[in-house]
Amino acid sequence: MSTKEFKPLPAQPAPVSTVGPVAWVRENLFSSKFNIIATILIVFALASVLPGTIDWLFISANWSGTTEAACVKDGACWVFIRAWSKQIFYGSYPSGELWRVNLCLFLLVVIIALSFILPARLRNRVAVPLFLLLPFISLVILNGRLIGLEYVSTDKWGGFSLDIMIAAASMIIAFPLSFLWALGRRSNMPFARSVSVTCIEFFRGTPILALFFMGSVMLPLFFPQGVTVDKLLRVWIILVLFMSAYMAEVFRSGFQAIPQGQYEAADSIGLGYWQKTMLIIFPQVVKISMPNILATFVMVFKNTVFLLVIAVPEMLQIVMTALSNSNWLGGHAAEGYLFVGFIFWICCFSMSMMADKIEKILDTDKRD
Amino acid sequence: MSENVNSDQDNASSVISINQLNKWYGDFHVLKDINLQVAKGERIVICGPSGSGKSTLIRCINRLEEFQRGSLIVDGVEMIEDVKNIEAIRREVGMVFQHFNLFPHLSILDNLTLGPIWVQKKPKAEAEATAMRYLERVKIPDQANKFPGQLSGGQQQRVAIARSLCINPKIMLFDEPTSALDPEMIKEVLDVMVELAEEGMTMLCVTHEMGFAKKVADRVIFMDAGEIVEQNTPKEFFDNPQVDRTQKFLEQILAH
């Protein structure tokens, strides 16, 4: 008796009309009547708005000079941004000491880069401890007193560098804290659970502006006589707690996505509670939660502009101060706010791109 | 073989001794007065309809489930609230799950070495050597550096068996190890289990693979509604079931 041999058919390329740019245009711009009308309307709208905007932004804009008098053309007065650029970026940090701010930012960039470059094992052993130390190293460098540099008090720190650093410092501390809160919320121990739930619900249910006011106005009333806690430090603590509350909920949803079988398998090979949590559960929760964690990072970074309500000289606050400067009363609000918006957008957009990259790196292990 | 079957009263030689065990899920009485003695090296197959408590019973043995009344002694250690006892018992008992439950974020090798390195505090090199030996036994040493998601179901289940063996257990529990597998992969997993049985491992196996039961089991236990209805040698169990419930069950599963 002879058996027939089974041979699978070879795969064939997709039909030409479904791939390539022409197909894309047809598919996305002119696929239906409604779609065609929408495309035409959008093209008209762009045609009527874009030329004027581009003209104001670039062609008739004033780029060079140092004073308001240099702004003679009709367009935007970018001289305003130029003249104030140092304050916008560094606040009133002493000119001779700016390298310290730059060093801190450089360290941040290096550590972020390291966590991308290093292989997984080294990442946990090198980049993570460096991250956790960074806020304190930066504090020492910027303050300067401990290491024999010129002392710079925190009211002189400011500008966009402050936005970046306080956001980064908050994220770094909030990350482990929020994980602990999320663990506490799931815990069987009544004390741990009630403390976690109270913290999470309080900081999540209160507007960040109210928290900043509380931190700057009310908290000092509770301190004993003579004790003062630096304003920036209070703001930092509030940002950390606020962010932790949000991230704890992000982590909680991550926990719920872990199948029960993972806990059982960890139990069955004899791992203890913390071994199980840190070796099995934490890595998977972080991976599942990563998109939302990064969204929280972006949110907190943008929220740093609210610091202006308690007169912390971050970027927006400085631009507003510059707008009321007697040498620059010619109405540069549009340029100023546009610039602040643009800088934040660039940063948040890069963070989104980075988030994409991180998700791809983490996706190397496929779930079963 | 038949000595084991009749040694139920002989607690002294038992590696697992279950007496008057009762468990409730809320109000639901899921295990009722279970008595079971397992001798060293004995291979037991537990079968029964779903909801009969068979999985719950073997999950009590390594404390994935708590029970409310009765006693359970594993290798001389009594199962009580004390974390020390629970950990001691879990070191002696390996478990294989229906859905494999490999750790998806770790490579196959890391899945295997986790227990030896973190629980038994073995040096990494030694743990890896042991892991490779077990991977060879389950015939997939070439997959050591892949991740669980890249393996077929049958391969994942063999890795899961190897992972349990790495902690060097005296007893192996299998909770429907082939129920989630494609038909073509069941055999490769059963082959590994048969080999393990032939080497003298004490095994408790919840399964509906009756061929496996006939081939390796010393004793087949039939459970229904939280009770042990009948237990006997495979030959007697299949050829000459004593209780009507058992007869009905066997008719159902052997009909096709």
Chain B CB contacts of A273 below 8 Å: none
Q: Which residues of chain A have pLDDT under 70?
A: 1, 364-368
Question: A367 and chain B: CB distance < 8 Å anywhere?
Answer: yes
Rounded to whole angstroms, how far apart are CA atoms B8 and B74?
15
| Cβ–Cβ below 8 Å for B104 and A365 | yes
pTM given for the model: 0.83
**pLDDT tens per residue, range A207-243:** 999 999 888 888 788 877 777 788 888 889 999 999 9
| Cβ–Cβ below 8 Å for A270 and B115 | yes
Question: A112 and chain B: CB distance < 8 Å anywhere?
Answer: no
Chain B CB contacts of A271 below 8 Å: 114-115, 118-119
Nearest to B141 by CA among B180, B184, B189, B108: B108
The CB density around residue A68, as the number of other CB atoms within 10 Å, is 17
pLDDT, mean of residues B96-120: 93
**Cα distance from N-terminal residue to C-terminal residue, chain B:** 30
User: Which of B97, B102, B105 lies nearest to residue A287, judging by beta carbons?
Assistant: B105
Query: Burial level of B252, CB count in 10 A (0-12/13-18/19+)?
Result: exposed
Lowest mean pLDDT among A59-68, B34-43, B71-80: A59-68
User: What number of C-beta contacts closer than 8 Å exist between A and B?
Assistant: 79
pLDDT at residue number B8: 43
Q: How confident is the model at residue B12 (pLDDT cuts 50, 70, 90)?
A: low
Q: Which of B87, B100, B101 to mutate to test the interface with A (most CBs of A within 10 A)?
A: B101
Rounded to whole angstroms, how far apart are CA atoms A298 and A312?
20
Question: A121 and chain B: CB distance < 8 Å anywhere?
Answer: no
Three-class SS of residue A54?
helix
Spans of all domains in chain A: 21-77, 82-93+152-362
Per-position DSSP letters for A208-262, written without gaps between them: HHHHHHIIIIIHHHHSPTT----HHHHHHHHHHHHHHHHHHHHHHHHHHTS-HHH
Query: Burial level of A350, CB count in 10 A (0-12/13-18/19+)?
Result: exposed
How far away is chain A from the Cα of B121, in angstroms, using its nearest Cα? 11
Nearest chain B residue to A280 by CA: give it. Answer: B103
Rounded to whole angstroms, how far apart are CA atoms A297 and B18?
53
pLDDT at residue number A345: 95
Q: How many residues are listed for chain A in this entry?
A: 368
pLDDT at residue number B253: 82
List all residues 6 or more positions away from B72 whose beta carbon is below 8 Å from its beta carbon.
Answer: B16, B17, B18, B19, B21, B60, B61, B78, B79
Rounded to whole angstroms, how far apart are CA atoms B15 and A301?
60
Region label for B176, one of left (φ > 0), alpha (ψ between -120 and 50) or beta (otherwise): left
Nearest to A269 by CA among B59, B87, B110: B87
How far away is chain B from the Cα of A105, in angstroms, using its nearest Cα? 32
Question: B177 and chain A: CB distance < 8 Å anywhere?
Answer: no
Query: Burial level of A298, CB count in 10 A (0-12/13-18/19+)?
Result: middle
Question: B145 and chain A: CB distance < 8 Å anywhere?
Answer: no
Residue A99 CA from chain centroid, whole number: 23
Rounded to whole angstroms, how far apart are CA atoms A216 and B193?
67
Question: B119 and chain A: CB distance < 8 Å anywhere?
Answer: yes
Nearest chain A residue to B98 by CA: give it. Answer: A261
Phi, psi of B69 (to 5 degrees): -145, 155
Residue B32: pLDDT above 60? yes
Rounded to whole angstroms, how far apart are CA atoms A107 and B28?
60
Query: Burial level of A92, CB count in 10 A (0-12/13-18/19+)?
Result: middle
Q: Where are the alpha helices (DSSP H) in A128-230?
A: 128-143, 159-186, 190-204, 208-213, 219-222
| Cβ–Cβ below 8 Å for B95 and A368 | no
Nearest to B87 by CA among A273, A104, A294, A149: A273
- Cα-based distances in Å from B155 to A273, A367, B135, B146, B235: 29, 15, 10, 11, 31
| Cβ–Cβ below 8 Å for A262 and B147 | no
Question: A271 and chain B: CB distance < 8 Å anywhere?
Answer: yes
Question: A120 and chain B: CB distance < 8 Å anywhere?
Answer: no
Nearest to A137 by CA among A147, A127, A128: A147
pLDDT at residue number B256: 62
Residue A281: both structure tokens together? 């559960």
Chain mean pLDDT for chain B: 89
pLDDT at residue number A64: 84
pLDDT at residue number A364: 52
Per-position DSSP letters for A288-329, written without gaps between them: HHHHHHHHHHHHHHHHGGGGGGGT--BHHHHHHHHHT-GGG-
Question: B97 and chain A: CB distance < 8 Å anywhere?
Answer: yes
Rounded to whole angstroms, how far apart are CA atoms A17 and B124?
56
CATH class of this structure's domain A82-93+152-362? mainly alpha
**pLDDT tens per residue, range A54-104:** 998 888 888 888 888 888 888 888 988 988 999 999 999 999 889 999 999
Chain B CB contacts of A264 below 8 Å: 64, 95, 97, 101
Phi, psi of B14 (to 5 degrees): -80, 140
pLDDT at residue number A27: 81
Question: B80 and chain A: CB distance < 8 Å anywhere?
Answer: no
Region label for B41, one of left (φ > 0), alpha (ψ between -120 and 50) or beta (otherwise): left
Residue B51: both structure tokens together? 């909801």
Pairing of strands B171-175, B93-96: parallel
Residue B7: pLDDT above 50? no
In this structure, what is the dihedral angle of CA atoms B154, B155, B157, B161, given to the nearest 10 degrees? Answer: 130
Question: B95 and chain A: CB distance < 8 Å anywhere?
Answer: yes
How far away is chain A from the Cα of B91, in angstroms, using its nearest Cα? 6
pLDDT, mean of residues B84-110: 92
pLDDT at residue number A253: 93
